[in-house]
Amino acid sequence: MHIPTRAYIALGSNLTSGLGDPRSHIQAALDALARLDRSHLRAASTIIETDPIGPQDQPRYLNAVVAIDTTLEPRDLLDRLLEIERSRGRDRTREQRWGPRTLDLDLLLYGDLQIQEPGLIVPHPRLAERLFVLAPLEELAPDLVVPGLGQTVGQLAARRRSAL
């Protein structure tokens, strides 16, 4: 029997599609994460509304973070996240970088691991730069030290806020 690892996942959406609006995409992702095999949804942050990064001619985003305990390996977890995105109509091959999307699920942290593999970098490489991720993550785990950065989520969020 494997001991579960705590992982944190960012959720984002700013597009309405035939499957729903951004709030329903976030809710569908939360529901899918709650049903994820070999995993247990531990907590979900408040959903916040934020300005887009990158092209500004797109709708505002809804963002949240969840904590799960999982025995899935990091690559398997990422594959499941990508499946959930596709189930909400996302096609990563056809979209603009930092452009609008129906659903974006990013693996932010996986225990205290640091992973550098093609298509999988943990902690998320831009975690410390993005208040729209840090603020909801701070709600769930303000004292969590981010592997490789040696600072807590709360410290990183405070630094980001002071830079604005």
Exactly one of 80, 88, 90, 130 is catalytic; name it: 90
User: Would residue 106 show up in a list of annotated catalytic residues for this protein?
Assistant: yes
* Residue from 88, 104, 130, 160 carrying the catalytic annotation: 104
What three-state secondary structure class fits 36? coil
Length of the chain: 164
| Residue 51 appears among annotated catalytic residues | no
DSSP conformational letter for 134: H
**Which residue is it, tokens 């550098």?**
116
Q: Which of 96, 93, 160 is nearest to 133 (CA)?
A: 160
CA pair distance 68, 17, nearest whole angstrom? 27
120 neighbors 126 (Cβ within 8 angstroms): no
Residues 6+ apart with CB under 8 A from 125: none
80 annotated active-site? no
Q: Which residue among the candidates 31, 35, 94, 101 is catalytic per the annotation?
A: 101
Q: Is-catalytic flag, 101?
A: yes
Catalytic pick from 21, 86, 92, 106? 106
Dihedral sign (CA 133, 135, 139, 144): positive
Using an 8 Å Cβ cutoff, are 144 and 153 in contact?
A: yes
Q: List residues with catalytic annotation.
A: 90, 101, 104, 106
